[in-house]
Structures are given as structure tokens and as C-alpha cells.
Amino acid sequence: MRNSLPGKSGKALFAPYATGKLSPNVAKRKKAVKSSKKKSSRKPTRARPTQVTMGLESSKIRDRSPDKQLNLFRNNPYVIPNLNRTYNNPKKAKIARDMLERYTGSAPSKFKKQIILTNFEYYVERFHSLCGSEKTRGSAMTVVHSDSADVTVVNFSIGSPMAALAMELISIVEPKAVLFLGMCGGLHRTLKKGDFIVPTAAIRDEGASIHFMPRQVPALPTFKIQKFVSEIVVERGLDYRTGVIHTMDYRFWEFDEKFKAQLYEERALGIDMETATLFVAGFASKVPIGALLLVSDLPLKRGGIKTKKSASSVFKTFTDLHLEIGIKAMSEISEKGEHIRHYKW
């Protein structure tokens, strides 16, 4: 068969293949393939972490400099340490210690190992009159220490950002247990004002907790603290509910019909602005945290939105009981000396 290319015979065109010799270009390609196979047969080297991002942390890296902490993970490409915590970043811990004193007006050394968090000044005043030894006010928070109860109460004000800040600051004193005595709106039709809720989890519909843990991490309390609190409630002949709390940073949601429809779908028991943030920030900061919430209003019922008058009534009727349960729970944890955190990581 003749070659269709003008001026060239088929014999001349296919001569390299007929003789068994390869053209220079083909020879170069084959040589490159052999070289790449030899390189791929070598044992691959593990990549070192090049950035510090949100991830797993280890109890072995406590009190080490960031550089030394990072070296612990160089042989494990699957673990990227988060060096943005007060327990593993000495520079941040130093600033946080200074900030704790500035914001509370109290030296870190005066804080007890059992801490009650609240977001109402009335709770601080009642605690001070019941068993407080020293009361201070810093630029952002009010604190009362009790030598007799071995408990410190901190009012961090309202909202998710302040809740996150409070948890990071008190992590400096390495508390044994923290209890949030907060208020929530009751969403279930059977709830009434003055009911207690011991949250089993919280929905993270706010903007602060994402800076501590990825969205897929649930907001959960420390089980042993919830156990202590629930037992004391029962000992007093009272009842409590358990369930999920919806935490958000959206005010006047009561007038948003679309949002309310979402709440019905979730089957959440109550709604507030701090619980999920406290649980996640506590978990990330290695601070055992629980909560006992008081139903202060029933926003899904007609006339159930909290007002100045109804809030005053709730404070006067239920605050002392709420505080007494919290103080007893924290005091018993102090006396019994039980280990609260279930595992180390």
C-alpha cells in the first residue's frame, strides 16, 4: 500500500518501526516514564502541619510553648493542634489573666474552684446577702466570692459573645465545676413559669461557638454536674424537665412567624441566648460546665412574652430557690471532691 503523503514512500515513512529503532522523541518519553516509576516506588514522606487550625487537642501539650506543642504533632499528619486556647498558649493565658482581673475587679487567685455563672445582677445581690464574703465590680462583670460555700458567682451579662468571653476568662483559674443558673423561655405547652429545666443538649443557632468547635460538634453539658443538680432538685421535692434548649442571638423572634414554625419542628423545650455557647466553649477550654435553667416566660402563648412586671415577679418568687439549688450543688462537689471531667483529650 502506498503512502498518501506526497513525495514519501510507505517504506520510508514506516522505516523506524520496521527496523526496531525508536525515534528520538519516543525514546525520550519512555525514559521519562521509567524515571517517574522509580520515584513513585520510594517511600512517601509525611507532610508536616503548616497551619494552626481548629482541630484536636491533647492533654500532653499543657504548659508548653506553641513551637514545642507543634513539634509533638509533626509525626502525625492527621492531627493539627489548636494553639488558640488559654491552657496551651502562654501568651494568651497571660493576657486572659490580666483581662479577668480587669473585667471582674477581682484577682484570679481569689476565685473558687466552684463557679456559678449568671446573667442577672439580682442573682449576684441575693448571693452576696445569703453567703457572700467579698463583692467586686470590674469594667464588664460583677463577682462575689463566698468562703463559707466555697463558691464564686459571676454575672457576665447577657448574650452569646459575653458567655464565650466569660468561659475563656474563668478557664484561667482551672475551675473544678461551673454551673450556669440562667433563665429561658418555655416552648412546650405543658411548661409554666418557675419550672426547672436540666438541659441535655443545646442547638447552636448563634455566632460565637463556631470559633471554638466546628458546627458538627454538639453542645453538651458535663453529665456529672447535671446529675448533682437533678438529685438536689428531687431531694427538695421538686420536679424538673430534661430536653434540648435552642440558643440563638436573635431578639424579637417572637414576632417572626417563620422562625416560630422552625421552633415547632425542632421540638426544643426552651429558648435562650447563652446555653449552647457555654457548653461548647467549656468543652473546648476543658472546663466542666452544666446548667439549671428557670422558665421565666412562655413566649409562644398569648400574653406570654416577658415584660418588666412579669420579670420582677419571677425574680422575687424563684431566684432564692434557684440560687440555693445551685449553691448546694457546687458545695457538694467541693466537699465530695469527685472528679468531674470524664476523660482527657
110-336 placed in CATH 3.40.50.150: no
The mean per-residue pLDDT over the stretch 134-159 comes to: 96
pLDDT digits (tens, 9 = 90+) for 157-204: 999 999 999 999 999 999 999 999 999 999 999 999 999 999 999 999
DSSP characters over 117-132 = EES-HHHHHHHHHHH-
DSSP characters over 47-111 = PPP-S--S----GGGTT--HHHHHHTTTT-TT------STTT-HHHHHHHHHHHHHHHSS-GGG-
Nearest Cα to Cα of residue 96 among 172, 174, 178: 172
**pLDDT tier at 334, thresholds 50, 70, 90:** confident
Residues 117/181, Cβ–Cβ less than 8 Å: yes
The residues spanned by each domain of the chain are 110-336
Helices of type H across 180-292: 223-235, 257-266, 275-284
pLDDT at res. 79: 64
pLDDT at res. 60: 46
CA distance 38 to 318: 77
User: What percentage of the chain reaches a pLDDT higher than 90?
Assistant: 69
pLDDT at res. 117: 98
Residue with cell 441535655: 200
Residues 229/235, Cβ–Cβ less than 8 Å: no
Q: Which helix (H) or strand (E) holds 198?
A: strand 196-205
Does the reported pTM lie above 0.95? no
pLDDT digits (tens, 9 = 90+) for 8-59: 444 444 444 444 555 556 565 656 656 655 555 555 555 444 444 434 444 4
CA distance 275 to 247: 6
pLDDT digits (tens, 9 = 90+) for 73-121: 556 666 666 788 998 899 999 999 999 999 999 999 999 999 999 999 9
CA distance 58 to 73: 10
The mean per-residue pLDDT over the stretch 242-247 comes to: 98
User: What are the residues whose beta carbons fall under 8 Å from the beta carbon of 34, sequence distance 6 or more?
Assistant: none
CA distance 42 to 169: 50
pLDDT at res. 59: 44
